[in-house]
Chains A and B, each alone.
Chain A
């Protein structure tokens, strides 16, 4: 699976949009981009994923560049509860059995401040 690069940390003011970038310049055509977050002392929480098109759900929006070499996770109105480590992961879809596990990097520590 392709490797991702994320900033180590970011700050965001409460109520503002949080834009978290991710670089995945070696992504393959069959690899999806997944975003998870981990709030302190909890298991990772799924946020969103996409292949080529931009995606939106009740939690966030995912913007993927046309060349798919990078993406941005957008939390439209950040709250204090969004403070967490955010992980951007790419994973192939053509897996089966024991393949297709998620490989976690160091992620971005997002701090939402009042």
Chain B
């Protein structure tokens, strides 16, 4: 089945550091990848939609200059949290959908737990 790999699984870093999270579709090509954020005891909230070869589309309230998204190939999207602060601590999850298959499900990575000290 379709597998989405997310790396790293967890990261702890100091305030002010930039952190990059990778999302890869391992056995399929993904034109579109999605980035979600989940705070404790809450549901997933979509942050942005990443399209291969073009700029990401951000949801209202998500700062594009803080959460940089790059989707350079059909199998890789990256999310960089720039100058991270404690309030950015959260569970970040990516998902991917196979190219040109409209009703196929999105598949999710296992998430990255980010803790900013």
Contacts and interface: CB of A to CB of B under 8 A. Distances in A.
Interface in A69-114: 87, 93-95, 97-98, 100-107
A98 B110 contact: no
Interface stretch (A11-19, A20-28, A40-48): A40-48
- Looking at chain A, what size class is its interface with the partner chain? 20 to 34
Nearest to A95: B102
A71 to B, nearest CB: 15
B108 A43 contact: yes
A68 interface: no
Nearest to A85: B43
A41 B113 contact: yes
A49 B107 CA distance: 13
B110 A49 contact: no
A97 B103 contact: no
Interface of A: 32, 34, 36, 38, 41-46, 49, 51, 87, 93-95, 97-98, 100-107
Interface of B: 4, 6, 31-32, 34, 36, 43-46, 49, 51, 57, 91, 93, 95, 97, 102-103, 105-111, 113
